[in-house]
Amino acid sequence: MMTVKQIRVGPMQNFSYLLMDQESREAMAIDSGWETDPIVRAAEQERMTVKYAVATHDHFDHVNTLRELAERLGARVVAHEASRIEADLRVRGGDSLELGQAKVKVIHTPGHSEGSICLFDGRDLFTGDTLFIGNCGRTDLPGGSVRKLYHSLHDTILALPPETLIYPGHDYGDAPFRTLGEERKTNPTLVARSLEEFVGVE
């Protein structure tokens, strides 16, 4: 069984996360945003052993303090092989990160950035800036691609079970998290039936 701690940090409505395997209490931190203190406090309160500090992508508002966080927690910095940040462990789509007996799958979802990843534990999907509640990430920054984001959303994320819980990288929606099934019905970027329609709403 996995436990999710959702932590709001910084001036851009960022979410950072702690994902912990309850049996072993091994955990990963997902993004760091702007401040490390609330993440470290939460990890200490829950007596977590944090193995990884994972970057969903390399934009500064998500990784500005990631190395500091990793050092404070005794964790390894993890990033996709296409990421521009310094990392202790490089991953690619299909890799898994182990927390106790649990495995968290790395899903490569380019589009917002070339090195964007989502993390999936079988129930919870941490989407960074690939997918928000009610919207998706922008594609006009370096490494962004409308076409790649469309395929990441429609071919990769929408292939997951509808009961999957979406945990985004920003608190931009009308709820902090929601099931993929609910988002599929209401999020215009997921409702879009073609790339052309997606471009019109993205």
pTM listed for this prediction: 0.97
> 54 pLDDT band (50/70/90 cuts)?
very high
Domain limits of the chain?
2-201
Tell me the per-residue pLDDT of 162-187, one tens digit each, with 9 for 90 and over. Answer: 999 999 999 999 999 999 999 999 99
Using 50, 70 and 90 to split pLDDT, how confident is the model at 193?
confident
Correct CATH for 2-201 of 3.40.50.720, 3.20.20.70, 3.30.70.120, 3.60.15.10: 3.60.15.10
Helix intervals (H) in 76-187: 146-151, 180-186
What are the pLDDT digits (tens) for 111-140? Answer: 999 999 999 999 999 999 999 999 999 999
* Helices and strands of the chain, counted as H and E runs: 7, 14
What burial class does residue 195 get, using C-beta atoms within 10 Å of its C-beta: 0-12 exposed, 13-18 middle, 19+ buried? Answer: middle
101 by Cβ neighbours in 10 Å (0-12 / 13-18 / 19+) ranks as exposed
Give me the pLDDT at residue 139, please.
95
| pLDDT at 156 (0 to 100) | 98
The answer on pLDDT for 202 being more than 80 is no
